[in-house]
Amino acid sequence: MERPGRWMSATELAALSAQLREVASRTLPAGSLTYGVFSADRTHLAQSVITVVYRRSDRKPVAFNAMAAMGIQLNGRPEEVLHLGLVMVDPEVRSKGLSWVLYGLSCFLLLLRAQMRPLWVSNVTQVPAIVGMVAETFSQVYPGPHEGARRRFAQLLAARQIMAGHRHVFGVGGEAGFDEDRFVITNAYTGGSDALKKTFDAAPKHRNAIYNEFCARELDYARGDDVLQLGRMDLEAAMRYLRHSVPRDAWARVLLTAVSAVLQRLALPVLHWFDSDREWGMLRPWKW
């Protein structure tokens, strides 16, 4: 669901937020989340891209990914950063092969809708498994222990604007600090995301130990630190996603979904343009 706050009714938005809270209630051991998509606030949901996975037998929500589009300025031009947001999976269906849908599919489809123009992506987390997943999925990711990780000037400018105007997107309070050299948010769990704070032992680890060691070295888990990662979703990242993340038996479904996205973005506007008899959005019949 892309930017549901722009087209869903208030009843539909409330139902969607209730589904997200339902998954969260089965995922978090205690506490509740009050920021972003959990609030059913139309303003937040107007800038969100939400992927929900339902169990086929009873249509019960079992997992979701809530991303947010954040507006910034780079090189004198407006840009959007797609914040990878919050991913939650019902413990009953963990390790069931949902990660390729929750983490990469929406970004891949949005890249298609942007005519393959590279997209900025961001991620805020203290979980080593997520740090490694982002570093290995996207391009030019900083920070991280992986090869080629370096802070670019555009990333520094983007990080400053995100921390100045978009903390509410990932539930970080105004009193949290930000280390610009390491891209580490200090004392991050004070703005509505308190229930997500973990110890290092409790945080899921990555199969590659370098990401676990990186988080243990750079983050103070007792204080509640997060790493702010910035990278790009581009053609190289899309091909890497298709090769390494999408299961072979799902390629046909992904291809069908990709073709549908391209048709919506390209073919349908062309067909509507050449239909001179009916009104469509800003297009008017020639005799109107």
Which pLDDT tens digit goes with each residue over 199-251? 999 898 999 999 999 999 999 999 999 999 999 998 888 888 777 777 777 77
Q: What is the pTM of this model?
A: 0.78
Amino acid at 17: S
Q: What is the pLDDT of residues 103-133, one digit of tens each?
A: 778 888 888 777 778 899 999 999 998 899 8
Outline where 128-173 has alpha helix (H).
128-137, 153-165
Q: Rounded to an integer, what distance in angstroms lies between the CA atom of residue 245 and that of residue 263?
A: 24
Q: Rounded to an integer, what distance in angstroms lies between the CA atom of residue 234 and that of residue 141?
A: 12
pLDDT at residue 287 in the model: 59
Q: Rounded to an integer, what distance in angstroms lies between the CA atom of residue 161 and that of residue 174?
A: 14
Nearest to 233 by CA among 71, 98, 102, 83: 83
pLDDT at residue 56 in the model: 85
* Beta carbons of 79 and 232 less than 8 angstroms apart: no
pLDDT at residue 282 in the model: 59
Q: Rounded to an integer, what distance in angstroms lies between the CA atom of residue 237 and that of residue 70?
A: 21
Query: What are the residue ranges spanned by the domains of the chain?
Result: 4-259
* Beta carbons of 31 and 171 less than 8 angstroms apart: no
Mean pLDDT by 10 residues, the chain (288 residues): 87 86 77 62 82 88 88 90 85 76 80 83 92 90 92 95 90 90 92 78 92 95 94 87 73 74 69 67 57
Q: What is the mean pLDDT of the chain?
A: 83
Q: Rounded to an integer, what distance in angstroms lies between the CA atom of residue 53 and that of residue 164?
A: 33
Q: Rounded to an integer, what distance in angstroms lies between the CA atom of residue 229 and that of residue 184?
A: 9
pLDDT at residue 21 in the model: 84
Amino acid at 96: K
Cis status of the peptide bond prior to 128, with omega within 30 of 0: no
pLDDT at residue 285 in the model: 57
pLDDT at residue 173 in the model: 85
